[in-house]
Structure 1
Amino acid sequence: MITALPSLLLTGGIAAAVCFAVLLVLLRTGWADAIAIDIPNHRSLHVKPIPRVGGWGVVPAALLLIVIGAPVLRWIALGALVLGAVSQIDDRRGLSARSRFIAHIAVAGAAVAASVVHIDAWLAAIAVIVVVWIVNLYNFMDGSNGLAGGMAVFGFATYAIGAAPSQPQLSLAGAAVAGAGLGFLILNFNPARVFLGDIGSVPLGFLAGAMGFWGWQHGAWPVWFPALAFAPFFADATATLLRRLARRERVWEAHREHYYQRLVQLGASHVRVALFYYSLMVGGSAIALIAMYLSPIVQWALVIAWYLTLAAVGGRIDLRWNAFQKSRAAVPR
């Protein structure tokens, strides 16, 4: 790992610089507003229009370096590019949920087929479902300044470190995506000048899932590793989905029920929410990187313990939210 560190830092630095430069040009020229603009509505946490062009910097910066330095992942990079193109069409013109879902399944299926080494067909089918879920949960969690960008930095940096001893190309790819996320984060951390947009969040979610699966299949890490590297997003999005399914709501529609959204509505600033989630990201990443070198029983015990910790954090937020709702209901109108 120590010998690989200079190349990983260089890769991440180049990706960050390219992403930042592209986005700065889009902002300075006014092209950002023409490409896609996010107009606030009753579900939004922001109050003024913000360009949704973050992906225009993140995706090319990350994918170019992956193609150059990690050719074994070129098919995954191609899948991310396809989903980025589909998402840009959705950002500009709008696509039905069915059309988006079909595209997600097709690309996820192709990525799993290109990466699979030694699992049965039924397990590969489950892997496709998981990758599709990660694509969408990353999109769901892109709603507060610094959150999705921070997850890209911490999550993919964890991939880079975890893969360094055995899969150097996968490690370099992780560094490239983490660096691109950092370049975006500079302009997205409060006050945000750009949002990620579907063109950024969807490919990032796909890369998290597809690279995680590839790493497992090629011996870079155990199957649970991606679930810890991206634990805050997994836990928040999954708990929110299950809660909405239980109420028979349309889960594909925008809402403000994620834990990070509730924290903002409870009065926390975007900065405080981002820093709080960063602490959870660092915790999960540290556990993942340490657990790789422990016995399988201890590994799974740590995974379960961390998710129970996240559940306790969510439960605490739920208690505060319920009390907040009761206090609002008690105020005379």
Structure 2
Amino acid sequence: MSDAVVATLAPIALYVLIAFLLALGVVRAAIAYAHRRGMFDQPGQRRSHKVPTPRGGGIGIIVAVVLTVPLCLLSVQPAWPMHTVIALIVAVVMIAWIGWWDDHSSLPALPRFGVQVLAVAIFCVALLMDGPAWFWLPLLVLAGAWSINLHNFMDGIDGLLAQQGIFVACGMAVPAWLAGQPALAGASACIAAACLGFWCFNRSPARIFMGDVGSGSLGLFVFAMVAMLWKASWSLVWASLILSSAFVSDATLTLLTRILRRRRWYTAHREHLYQWIVRRGHTHAVGAAWYFGWNLFVAAPFAAWAFEQPGMGLIACVLTYSIATAVWLVAKRRFIRRDRYKVRHVHT
């Protein structure tokens, strides 16, 4: 390993360690804070847990990432523009603030969505100031707002969202490093380390939940890293999208199904695949293992293919999401059939 590589890796390793330790400490303090303030998610018909559990632990991820990601992006060469980094942190703080507020006292959907769109727009405008073309702005804002919400939707069982954050962030760090973007690789690694620190308290049985303060902010970070990879090299976007295929597919297909069935899609429910897994009697650990298996045996190989063969990136992405859709449809159908059979059996 050359001296130049060592000189680049050394500060990144330090920032990653700091991110992990910060998340670990802040999440531990958040548990005590939630107990004092009575911030508990109560069990219910539309929830997957069975005992009252503190929420708001995602604040540990946010503190760790806000303090370390800018250091990576600005100090590791080639550094990212100051205005992009500042806009990213401002956007994250806005999402974390509205989420923290919602964790304390539930807010209407419209104000939350308005803040989300504004935060994403601030980051996207800064990202596009020196290219690519401005016609990408509406699509980027829409994608960022959806990333925030889909990660919120998928935060429903112990360890799942933190596990996904670790996988996606680590997955994006590798192509970023190989593509000559060590600052972005370090930033992604810090996000993974912060998620790991939170996961230590959130793995089944969870001692604390992430809450909106963490889930929405993590969704913004995932979007931001993908967008920055896309700006650095457009061919990297396909591998990045593949890494998130499990969450994007489940959230999107569930939302579309509820809309088509004329249900109140914006209200709480238990229709995601991971929720059906738990509803059928499996543990939260088993539910998270389903998604880990997909990430390990499908998403990771297809993402590697898309990175190694840039000309095949779009095809790899389409294949991945086609397989994900098929798996989702088959699994949901089997779970629903078992549920109907169980109901009929009980009544007879």
Q: 1:108 to 1:12 in 2, by over 3 A?
A: same
1:228/1:7 Cα in 2 relative to 1: closer, same or farther (>3 Å)?
A: farther
Tell me whether 100-109 or 221-230 shows the greater mean CA deviation.
Answer: 221-230
**Corresponding position of 2:209:** 195
2:302 corresponds to 1:287: yes
1:183 shift after superposition: 0.4
Contact 1:163 1:220 in 2 (8 A): no
Alpha-carbon distance, 1:220 to partner? 7.0
Select which of 130, 155, 166 maps to 1:142. 155
How far did residue 6 of structure 1 move? Answer: 5.7
Structure 1 segment 56-75 matched on structure 2, within 5 A:
56-71=59-74, 72=80, 73-75=85-87
Q: Name 1:21's counterpart in structure 2.
A: 25
What are the Cα deviations for residues 170-217 of structure 1, in whole angstroms up to 9, with x where unaligned?
111101110000001111111100100000000000111122112201
- Structure 1 CA distance, aligned partners of 2:191 and 2:26? 15
Task: State whether residues 72 and 184 of structure 2, in contact with CA within 8 Å, keep that contact through their aligned partners in structure 1.
Answer: no
Q: Which residue of 2 aligns with 1:264?
A: 278
Residues 26, 60 of structure 2: 8 Å contact kept: yes
Task: Out of 149-158 and 274-283, give the one that drifted further.
Answer: 274-283
SS in 2 for 1:142: coil
Counterparts of 1:315 and 1:169, CA distance in 2: 39
Residue 50 of structure 1, aligned match among 48, 53, 56:
53
Give the superposition deviation at 1:7: 5.1
Mapped to 2, the partners of 1:5 and 1:34 lie a distance apart of 41
SS of the equivalent of 1:331 reads helix
Answer yes or no: is 1:12 the counterpart of 2:16.
yes
Secondary structure in structure 2 of the residue aligned to 1:164: helix
Aligned to 2:93: 81
- Runs of 5+ in structure 2 lacking a partner? 75-79
- Please name the residue that 1:114 is paired with: 126
**In the alignment, residue 258 of structure 2 is paired with which amino acid?**
R
Taking a change above 3 Å as real, the CA distance of residues 70 and 120 of structure 1, as seen in their structure-2 partners, is closer
Question: In the alignment, is the contact (CA less than 8 A) between 2:90 and 2:119 conserved in 1?
Answer: no
Other structure's SS at 2:190 match: helix
**Aligned residue identity for 2:167:** F
Would you say 1:251 and 2:265 are equivalent positions? yes
Alpha-carbon contact 1:22-1:56 (below 8 Å) kept? yes
The one-letter amino acid of 2:144's match is V
Percent identity for Structure 1 against Structure 2: 29
State TM-score, norm by structure 2: 0.89
Q: Show CA shifts across 1:211-264 (max 9, x none).
A: 211220122753323311211110100010110110122222110000000011
Gaps of 5+ in 1: none
With 268-277 and 120-129 compared, the bigger mean Cα shift is at 120-129
- Give TM-score scaled by structure 1 length: 0.93
1:321 aligned residue (335, 341, 347): 335
Letter in 1 for 2:63: P
Alignment length (residue pairs):
330
- Contact kept, 8 Å, 1:245 with 1:251, in 2: the verdict is yes
5 Å-filtered alignment, 1:135-174, equals: 135-165=148-178, 166-174=180-188
Mapped to 1, the partners of 2:330 and 2:29 lie a distance apart of 43
1:155-178 deviations in Å (ceiling 9; x for gaps) = 011121121132221111101110
Whole-Å separation in 1 of the counterparts to 2:341 and 2:87: 53
What is the letter of the counterpart of residue 192 of structure 1?
Answer: A
Contact persistence 1:154–1:285 (CA under 8 A): no
